Structure formats: C-alpha cells, structure tokens
C-alpha cells in the first residue's frame, strides 16, 4: 500500500455472477439437488447462498460458451452422502481414482456444462 493512500475496509462479501440458459434447470440443480439456499428467484435472475458467498445466475438467451477451465468447487462435510444423493437423482458424476492429484471427491456438470467439484474439508495436521 502506498504510504499516502487512505485506509479502506476490505470487501465484505462475494457475489459471483454466471450466465445460464435455463434458470429452472439451474435452480433445480443448485437448490433442489445440492441443497443450497435460494436468496433471489426472479424471471431473469436467481441467487443462491453458499456459506458467506452468493452465486448469481442470469438468464442468457442464445448460445452459451462455458470455458473449459472454469470449475466451481464446494466443500461439503460428507461428500459420499452427496454423491449418493446426486446419483439417485440421475445426475451424472465422475469419481476420480484415489491416486488422483486433485482432492476432489467427485465432480458433476451443472445444466450449462460447468464442472462442479465437491471436496471434503481439509484435514487438520493433528488428525
């Protein structure tokens, strides 16, 4: 920080905004299937809460190009239970082999084709 610059509080919240072609399918995946809290449900926009952050999905008409390197990662206390739930709902999932360098317990694709990874919380060094 520059010595003469005034101090300011850091940002206090995170809102990540993504485009979606089908908000109904997006709502079903993130709210019904994953169990996230629905904060805003409007005709062209929905917002779900994830801990202290929010994900906003905006209606996008026309072709939507999802970047191959985009991945949303969620930590969950019991990824195995969520994996069984998603499979029972017919969501296609990919479970990496145990030797995989990634710590993702499994991944799925949201309705727009984004990779969504689910991991367990990091283990403490004492465990």
Q: Report mean pLDDT in 10-residue bins for the chain, 127 residues.
A: 78 88 96 96 96 93 81 90 92 74 76 92 68
Read off the pLDDT of residues 94-112 as tens digits, 9 standing for 90 and up: 887 565 545 568 999 999 9
Tell me, what's the pLDDT at 85?
93
Tell me, what's the pLDDT at 1?
54
Contact (CB, 8 A) for 106 and 96: yes
CATH 3.10.180.10 fits domain 15-59+72-119: yes
- CB-based contacts of 79-86 (< 8 A; 24+ apart in sequence): 79/105, 79/106, 79/118, 79/119, 79/120, 80/105, 82/34, 82/118, 83/118, 85/33, 86/33
Report CA Rg, the chain. 17
């Amino acid at each position: 920080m520059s010595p003469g610059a005034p101090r300011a509080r850091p940002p206090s919240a995170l809102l990540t905004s993504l485009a979606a072609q089908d908000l109904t399918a997006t709502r079903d995946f993130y709210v019904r299937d994953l169990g996230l809290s629905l904060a805003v449900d409007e005709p062209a926009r929905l917002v779900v809460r994830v801990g202290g952050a929010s994900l906003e999905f905006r209606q996008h008409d026309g072709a939507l190009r999802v970047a191959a390197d985009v991945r949303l990662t969620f930590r969950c206390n019991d990824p195995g239970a969520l994996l069984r739930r998603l499979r029972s709902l017919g969501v296609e999932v990919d479970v990496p082999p145990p030797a995989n360098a990634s710590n993702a317990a499994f991944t799925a694709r949201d309705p727009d084709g984004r990779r969504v990874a689910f991991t367990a919380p990091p283990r403490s060094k004492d465990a």
